[in-house]
Structure 1
Amino acid sequence: MGAISLLLTLDEVENKQFEFGGGIMIKNNELTKNLIKTSSELNEKVNGDYYRLKYHLMPSVGFLNDPNGFIQFNGEYHLFYQFNPLYPKDKRVCWAHVKSPDLVHWSMLPTALYPSEWYETHGCYSGCAVNNNGEFTLIYTGNVKNKLGKRETYQCIAQSNDGENFVKYKNNPVISNAPEGYTTHFRDPKVWKHDGLWYMSLGTQTEKEEGVVLLYSSQDLLVWNKIGEIAGANTKKLNYLGYMWECPNLFKLDGKDILLFCPQGVEPNGDLYNNRYQCGYLLGKLNYKMGKLSYGDFTELDRGFEFYAPQVSRDEKGRLLLVGWMGIPEEEDSPTVKNNWLHCLTIVRELHLENDKIYQNPVEEMKLLRTNETKYENVVINNEQIRLNNIYGDCFELVCDFSWENVLEFGIKLRCDDEEKQKTLLYYNTKEEKIILDRCKSGLSKTGVRKCKIVNRKKLSIRLFMDKSSLEIFINKGEETFSSRIYPKEDSKNIFFYAQGGIVNLNIKYWNI
């Protein structure tokens, strides 16, 4: 998954021109030369960064954000993501493209989309992929801005015969700007088929700056008709949930219709909504004829510091899979920026519904990465802190099952130096019934604390994945998750377990990755 080159050689790019349905992939020599020159010049600097990840997808150079086009096509998993190789010098958002047989071992393919047309001069923005009767089709937002910053947004299509080389539809765009009553913040199409028709959800905002998701339908992916508003921020139930809704996914899970999206402009509320922008879902029933979702409360999907713009896809096994961006828009002060790269994606997760709540768990295939198992059973921690042999490092999977009768607090200290001046805390307070992630001493990352309620059942399961500078935590088999980036020193690799005010029993499994 690591630092695989995203770019072809210059000769390969300049010689490529493909036709499809009358469309032409236009060569953009100036852009490709800049991309290749930038990648070549910065390769050593980027790959020399300690915080580069071992088993997460990340850009070979430059900026990564939203995952796009997640699909299983002809037995292989394909994933695209927003990619700006010239960051921070210039904003030319492309679609990088990777594929995998198993969701954990990825190979790089040629960059799928470059901003080469009039309807996408400032970037090929987020979108999705579908299998249209054997034709691999991408649907994305073309973004255009003039010198005054005025925006135009266009929904566009690109198609492929071979699953690798994509050609833009000759009559793009298929939807030009938002309908009357909405602003040109109109983007992130997610398309699916239902009862023989194609449907598209799109994030936008009203002219009163209230976030909404719109529903469109089409028979052929080319001509689209607006049906209505699936849901919107300005309702009594949602109490003004933000000025813009991005990256909508609408899907069925265990018999329920779910709208997953990212509202911007939501004020913090206790333990909730403490990131710059949020991500969560509404669960209910979609009326396809009216384009309306009946729904309950908004629920945050991830409790960590960096999680945004997830995309879901159903595979040939029937699993509903999710991958997200371990980042937040407009928060770009990571220590990796000086080495000319930024951000990563999460590991792939499988979703299921339990008591009307989405549970997330790493896909089964993550076990393929395990090496050198270390196992401890019935460890007793009596109001003390302990360290266990062979549980140490910066790239691992750790599973901890705690049980107790009377204890005030217990947890794990990750990525500690010997003096504990640097550490990342994950602990449970039994009185407050809260699981807490504290990165105030995690290193170069922003400081802060994230919390959420977990009912005290005298048992707690924690499964976590550490990968140099990323941390993904799964509580009670996916009941809650925390996705975050941390930047400790290279020699901060100690792991401690502790209990305060009582005794806990602990079973541990640990693998190097």
Structure 2
Amino acid sequence: MYYNGFYHLFYQYNPKGSVWGNIVWAHSVSKDLINWEALEPAIYPTDPFDINGCWSGSATILPGNKPIIFYTGIDTEENQVQNYAIPANLSDPYLRKWIKPADNPIVTADATMNKTAFRDPTTAWKIDSHWRMAVGSKRKHRGMAYLYRSRDFKTWIKAKHPLHSVAETGMWECVDFFPVALSGESGLDTSAFGSNVKHVLKASMDITRFEYYTLGTYFPVRDKYLVDKGMVDNWGGLRFDYGNFYASKSFFDPAKSRRILWGWANESDTSTDDVAKGWAGVQAIPRKVWLDPNGKQLMQWPVEELDTLRDKRIQLKNRELKLGDIIEVEEITAAQDLCGLKGSKVQGGVGPFGLLTLASKGLEEYTPVFFRVFKGEYKHVVLLCSDARSSSVRNKGLYKPSFAGFVNVDLSVTKKLSLRSLIDNSIVESFGAGGKTCITSRVYPQLAVYGNAHLFAFNNGTEPISFDLSAWSMRKPLKMNN
């Protein structure tokens, strides 16, 4: 959340080790989304209503500029219940201390619901004197977003019907429900509603460990969400990210009138590796989110503040790559089945072409991020791939998948494709076609590390391509100055 000049990031954390368990709500603050300071945990298990765990939730800013946290607690009966916490001292700019009032829990599952699959309350929204929030759940194999209403933010009543549900999708975790403007890139407060607004419903699917979202219309009188006609509403639907990206959460940033999305990139190595590293899991770069002008999907782009870390720049202008060409850019220190079958080496017509990131000098290791273009019935079909299969000479204990997502562009109109990749020691986060399709890969090179990591542009298609390229080394973010 953004509150009184500071961004507050709360996240699931085990202070006693880099393995699952003993989870608290860790708390970090920043003035710019880039330079952060870690504070003491905001919430940790202390009471009967959360003694067995403090799980995910959301923050809401109430009228009078008062923040409140909703979160899922595991109680003494191992049931999942919804609790709230409030700042102990609103005059503290960091909001270091949080209080869990005695009237918790505020929402419990009724007799018709699965009490052990009922978690992750959303940010609340208010329309016509009633607050609403949604909580993820499942009924047998049907994914559910239960809806609750309140006038006073204390007494919450379950609506007769869920906000939305989809058969055969399993448990919905970390549900997010928010409005987007029909035009422009400005974000909207979570309570925004009207004729110029479309709504987004996202669920993190526990079975697939991927996230899926739909666009649709919210009807507050009936408190129902109807998905746009023609939109896929299941595991084959749209995703924020087609790679290692889960449990995301968005919030409205009033300081810059934008909606920001944040996702978790979990590890792809073993828990033993995590213990050796001393840490596990990273937050992806925060992304600005808005509605594509075509109205059929969301766009995402790294927050503008990230550019303040740019350092040395390398540029290649109007260069041509023919079949098999590879050009080294700079030493860097700092539809899945199709990609899996063909990879970056199998020759095509237009493509594969793109970048070999985190590459060793002799290409024993590399993580390619690339496009393939196919002829469709009516127009060209574009695929963005991020393939981790060659990312490390180590094989044992590593998950090295090939990720892919289709890119909704008309090449007969655009005549070109864009790609932005953010490359760190163990993560490659890529944005295709200005943010239409995003893929995050976790990789663990053994050779292509620090000064031995290289970046190449390549083309393995029979058709030559021309390209412009800019690459920056990046400075490290700093601990926030008090």
TM-score scaled by length of structure 2: 0.80
Q: Output the CA distance in 1 between the equivalents of 2:177 and 2:241.
A: 21
Counterpart for residue 313 of structure 1: 251
SS at match of 2:282: coil
| Residue from 410, 414, 423 that aligns with 1:466 | 423
Q: CA deviation at 1:452?
A: 2.1
1:61-118 per-position Cα deviation (integer Å, ceiling 9, x unaligned):
xxxxxxxxxx111121111001112246772110011111111111112210111111
Which piece of structure 1 moves more, 498-507 or 448-457?
A: 448-457
Q: CA deviation at 1:122?
A: 1.6
Counterpart for residue 186 of structure 1: 118
State whether structure 2 residue 450 is matched by structure 1 residue 450.
no
User: Does the 8 A contact of 1:394 with 1:415 survive in 2?
Assistant: no
Within 5 A, what are the aligned runs for 1:349-368? Answer: 349-354=287-292, 355=294, 356-368=296-308
The alignment covers a number of residue pairs equal to 410
| Residue from 485, 488, 506 that aligns with 2:442 | 485
> Which residue type is aligned with residue 380 of structure 1?
E
Counterpart for residue 262 of structure 1: 204
Counterpart for residue 314 of structure 2: 374
Structure 1 191/198 Cα, relative in aligned 2: closer, same or farther at 3 Å?
farther
Within 5 A, what are the aligned runs for 1:221-370? Answer: 221-227=153-159, 228-234=161-167, 240=168, 242-254=169-181, 255-265=197-207, 276-296=208-228, 297-298=232-233, 299-316=237-254, 317-327=256-266, 333=271, 335-354=273-292, 355=294, 356-370=296-310
User: Does the 8 A contact of 2:9 with 2:28 survive in 1?
Assistant: yes
Structure 1 332/167 Cα, relative in aligned 2: closer, same or farther at 3 Å?
farther
Q: Output the CA distance in 1 between the equivalents of 2:65 and 2:440.
A: 35
Structure 1 331/246 Cα, relative in aligned 2: closer, same or farther at 3 Å?
farther
Counterpart for residue 192 of structure 2: none
Q: Output the CA distance in 1 between the equivalents of 2:111 and 2:455.
A: 54
Within 5 A, what are the aligned runs for 1:128-147? Answer: 128-132=58-62, 133-144=64-75
1:356-380 per-position Cα deviation (integer Å, ceiling 9, x unaligned):
2011111111111111122221111
Counterpart for residue 138 of structure 2: 205
| Residue from 480, 483, 496 that aligns with 2:456 | 496
> Which residue type is aligned with residue 215 of structure 1?
L
Structure 1: which 5+ residue stretches go unaligned? 1-70, 235-239, 266-275, 396-405
Root-mean-square deviation over aligned CA pairs: 2.1
User: Does the 8 A contact of 1:322 with 1:351 survive in 2?
Assistant: yes
Q: Output the CA distance in 1 between the equivalents of 2:249 and 2:110.
A: 22
User: Does the 8 A contact of 2:361 with 2:454 survive in 1?
Assistant: yes
> Which residue type is aligned with residue 203 of structure 2?
F
Q: CA deviation at 1:179?
A: 5.3
Q: CA deviation at 1:382?
A: 2.1
Structure 1 338/304 Cα, relative in aligned 2: closer, same or farther at 3 Å?
farther
State whether structure 2 residue 363 is matched by structure 1 residue 430.
no
User: Does the 8 A contact of 1:129 with 1:138 survive in 2?
Assistant: yes
SS at match of 1:175: coil
SS at match of 2:32: coil
Q: CA deviation at 1:183?
A: 3.8
Q: CA deviation at 1:426?
A: 1.4
Counterpart for residue 186 of structure 2: none
Q: CA deviation at 1:288?
A: 2.1
Q: CA deviation at 1:496?
A: 1.4
Q: Output the CA distance in 2 between the equivalents of 1:332 and 1:173.
A: 36
State whether structure 2 residue 52 is matched by structure 1 residue 122.
yes
> Which residue type is aligned with residue 402 of structure 2?
V
Q: CA deviation at 1:125?
A: 0.6
Q: Output the CA distance in 1 between the equivalents of 2:270 and 2:220.
A: 39
Counterpart for residue 5 of structure 1: none
Within 5 A, what are the aligned runs for 1:404-423? Answer: 407-423=350-366
Q: Output the CA distance in 2 between the equivalents of 1:362 and 1:430.
A: 25
User: Does the 8 A contact of 2:238 with 2:297 survive in 1?
Assistant: no
Structure 1 374/307 Cα, relative in aligned 2: closer, same or farther at 3 Å?
same
Q: Output the CA distance in 1 between the equivalents of 2:425 and 2:180.
A: 33
SS at match of 1:128: strand
User: Does the 8 A contact of 2:426 with 2:442 survive in 1?
Assistant: yes
SS at match of 1:367: helix
Counterpart for residue 338 of structure 2: none
User: Does the 8 A contact of 2:269 with 2:399 survive in 1?
Assistant: no
Structure 1 504/318 Cα, relative in aligned 2: closer, same or farther at 3 Å?
same
State whether structure 2 residue 86 is matched by structure 1 residue 159.
yes
Which piece of structure 1 moves more, 469-478 or 196-205?
A: 196-205
1:123-159 per-position Cα deviation (integer Å, ceiling 9, x unaligned):
111111122222221111111366xxxx311111111
Q: Output the CA distance in 1 between the equivalents of 2:459 and 2:269.
A: 35
Counterpart for residue 101 of structure 1: 31
TM-score scaled by length of structure 1: 0.76
